[in-house]
Amino acid sequence: MPIGAINTAGLQVMALVRRLREELKVNTTCGASNVSFGLPNRNGINSAFLTMAMGAGMTSAITSPMHPEVMQAVRGGDVMMGHDPNCTHWIRAYREPAAEGEGTWWQSWTIGTS
């Protein structure tokens, strides 16, 4: 259901996904871009939809991994839902690489330095 045409579409989908997960214990798959059809900046809406649907119990989504903001939302949702223990996937995706010639602090630290 496109949110631009039916203002309560997001609420309806979240309620349905939650009921499917809690009452019937079934997995759900949603097409993430369906909700933003006809709107500008669709990836922003899709990102919000995905994280909210994850919180409601959605287990998978049909979406493009080519949109960085969507992938960031999914990774953030995984962190918040406890699906990324120790934030391993988040850190791997977003950690700034060390500048060339810089090691880690323990590689340059020596006893007796202050």
Could you tell me if residue 59 is inside a domain?
Answer: yes
Could you tell me if residue 14 is inside a domain?
Answer: yes
pLDDT of residue 26: 97
Could you tell me if residue 104 is inside a domain?
Answer: no
Name the residue range of residue 14's domain.
9-96
Q: Which two tokens stand for residue 110?
A: 């020596």
Could you tell me if residue 17 is inside a domain?
Answer: yes
Burial class (CB in 10 A: 0-12, 13-18, 19+), 89: middle
Query: What is the total count of domains within the chain?
Result: 1
pLDDT tens, residue by residue, 47-80? 999 999 999 999 999 998 899 999 999 999 999 9
Could you tell me if residue 2 is inside a domain?
Answer: no
Could you tell me if residue 4 is inside a domain?
Answer: no
Phi, psi of 29 (to 5 degrees): -130, 130
Residues of the chain with pLDDT under 50: none
Could you tell me if residue 76 is inside a domain?
Answer: yes
Instruction: Count CB neighbours of 56 within 10 A.
Output: 19
Could you tell me if residue 85 is inside a domain?
Answer: yes
- Tell me if 47 sits within 8 A of 73, measured CB to CB: yes
pLDDT of residue 111: 57
pTM of the model: 0.79
